[in-house]
Amino acid sequence: MSEVFELNLQELVTKEDLRHEMSCLRYKISSLRKDMDLKIDRLDFKIEKLDSKLEKLELHMIVKLTIIMGILLSAALALSKLLQVVVV
């Protein structure tokens, strides 16, 4: 029985040991927070960059669609005039 009691006493830590562990854990948590903040900032930058690229792509698509619509309207107008000439 005394051996068990001695082993249990050896596993006990002092308040100072606990304070030291708490300090280490606080430091690790602080480091993790800083690391996560940095990663979140990088992710925000990548999202902003992607958003900018999507806006440019949208603008290019609008310009191309406008050109295509102009060509189609011109072709429809030319076809309409051609059909009027053929019918008359």
Residues 35-54 have pLDDT tens digits of 999 999 999 999 999 999 99
Between the two ends of the chain, the Cα-to-Cα distance in Å is 120
CA distance 72 to 39: 49
- C-alpha count within 13 angstroms, C-beta hemisphere, residue 7: 4
Please count the residues of the chain.
88
Look at the alpha carbons of 6, 11, 14, 15 in this order and tell me if their dihedral is positive or negative: negative
Q: Is the pLDDT of residue 7 over 60?
A: no
CA distance 61 to 55: 10
Tokens 């072709």: give the residue: 75
Local confidence band at 1 (pLDDT 50, 70, 90 cut-offs): low
Local confidence band at 11 (pLDDT 50, 70, 90 cut-offs): low
